[in-house]
């Protein structure tokens, strides 16, 4: 017996393009996604800048704390009025 290949007839018409409404929907969704991705990128840049600012000013605060410790010793500074009192950890070490 010879191999007979069955032939199928495709009854669907060959479409070369999506219709205008479908194309508009695709374009709108891709545009929304692209805008959102741009916003995420901008937010990440802002976040990175904020993190770098925090790192910078923490280093500045650390430098100031070292200077103040040399001048006043181990103390706690009240951030509202500037009064100082001995650091409780240091007081406990002396006793």
Is 12 strand, coil or helix?
A: coil
Query: Is a pLDDT exceeding 80 seen at residue 11?
Result: no
Query: Is a pLDDT exceeding 80 seen at residue 8?
Result: no
More confident residue, 93 or 22: 22
What are φ and ψ of residue 84, in 5° steps? Answer: -120, 150
pLDDT tens figures, 36-95 = 999 999 999 999 999 999 999 999 999 999 999 999 999 999 999 999 999 887 656 655
pLDDT at 1: 53
Is 7 strand, coil or helix?
A: coil
Q: Average the pLDDT over each of 1-5, 19-23, 39-43, 55-59 and give the range with the smallest value.
A: 1-5
pLDDT at 12: 77
The CA–CA distances, whole Å, from 59 to 27, 48, 78 equal 48, 17, 20
pTM of the model: 0.62
């Amino acid at each position: 017996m010879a191999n007979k290949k069955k032939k199928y007839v495709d009854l669907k018409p060959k479409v070369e393009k999506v219709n205008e409404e479908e194309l508009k929907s695709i374009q709108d969704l891709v545009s929304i996604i692209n805008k959102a991705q741009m916003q995420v990128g901008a937010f990440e840049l802002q976040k990175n800048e904020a993190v770098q600012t925090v790192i910078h000013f923490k280093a500045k605060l650390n430098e100031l704390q070292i200077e103040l410790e040399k001048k006043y010793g181990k103390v706690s500074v009240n951030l509202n009025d500037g009064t100082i009192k001995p650091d409780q950890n240091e007081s406990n070490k002396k006793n």
